[in-house]
Amino acid sequence: MSSFRGGSHVIIASTLFLPRVAVLSIVLAIVAACASPAVPQPSSTLARLDALVSNQGYGEALRALERDPSSAEEKLQWLRVQAERGHVPMIYELSARLFPTDVSQSLKWYARGRLARTLDAAECAQGSASWGWRVNLDRQVETVRDAGVARPREFSAAIDEALAWDAKRRDRPSAAWICGPVDDEKDHNLLPQPKRDAERADTRETMVINAKAIADFYKAVDAGAAAKFRTLESKIDVPEGLGRTTAGWLDDHRLRGKPLVRASREFSRRQGRRREPI
């Protein structure tokens, strides 16, 4: 009899215990779901800009971004997605918007943008075809560029990271956006293959060499400072060159020439931007 009661108690206890376990499991599941970080999604209005970017309608996309009612954080999130896909004007816009709140990230994207822009321009059949975009993009991130010049070691590290990023890219947007159409026709001013790839590779190699030279220079300076070497005054007047003030040591040989100003004005007129680039 007692064993039966004991068994009955066990059965009753088990019966009462199971619903409690089920309720506890449901509560824990709800708590876990609430605690999981939500993945930010672009607003529906920003999502509509994806087609413009995919078709390289960058000027129109940037104007629409200015008018879009989405929050600043939503715009940054959308820009990061486009920047990771390698759309250069979006990379520059992201860099400009991150500065000065996050200088490190701003320099990171500026380095990536400048590298990708220069490599894309190498694919143009005519060097002058890319001047308009290049000059206006530079104007857009002048403050970021100046921060890079003021922080050469950090900028040098950003360039190294950008080169590593570019080396891993397998699906990049066409360079047609920067080379421009020929006489407003659909055909773009691109070099034929395989010369296009050869010019891109040659330009990249030059930038790798330049970046390494600058990095090695600062390593030598830091090593000398650590060893407490004496600094001697040579009394030789060294003018402030293009590379020192504009980070042009990366690609200055592709940016020189008086036609740059005219090209910049013509580009701004065609793009119809309502505001000066920041």
Tokens at residue 237, please? Answer: 């007047």
State which amino acid sits at residue 189.
Answer: N
Which residues in 39-62 are b (16+ Cβ under 10 Å) and which e?
A: eeebbeebeebeebbeebebbebb
Q: Per-residue pLDDT tens for 98-118?
A: 999 999 999 999 999 999 999
Look up residue 125 and give its DSSP letter: S
Whole-model pTM: value is 0.71
Long-range contacts of 38-42 (CB under 8 A, 24+ apart): 40/73, 40/74, 40/77, 42/70, 42/74, 42/77, 42/78, 42/81
Assess whether the previous peptide bond of 100 is cis (omega < 30° from 0): yes
Would you say residue 9 has pLDDT above 50? no
**Predicted local confidence at residue 229, as pLDDT:** 82
For the chain, how far is it from start to end, CA to CA, in angstroms?
89
**Predicted local confidence at residue 267, as pLDDT:** 47
Tokens at residue 121, please? Answer: 């321009």
Rounded to 10 deg, the angle between the 88-98 and 103-121 helix axes is 160
**Predicted local confidence at residue 65, as pLDDT:** 96
Q: Per-residue pLDDT tens for 46-63?
A: 989 999 999 999 999 999
Q: Under a CB-based contact definition with an 8 Å cutoff, are residues 133 and 177 in contact?
A: yes
Would you say residue 11 has pLDDT above 60? no
Over residues 137-162, the mean pLDDT reads: 93
State which amino acid sits at residue 177.
Answer: W
State which amino acid sits at residue 22.
Answer: A
Where does the pLDDT of residue 197 fall: very low under 50, low under 70, confident under 90, or very high at 90 and above? very high
3-class DSSP state of 69: coil
Tokens at residue 277, please? Answer: 């680039």
Q: Under a CB-based contact definition with an 8 Å cutoff, are residues 271 and 59 in contact?
A: yes
Q: Regarding predicted confidence, which is higher, 92 or 32?
A: 92
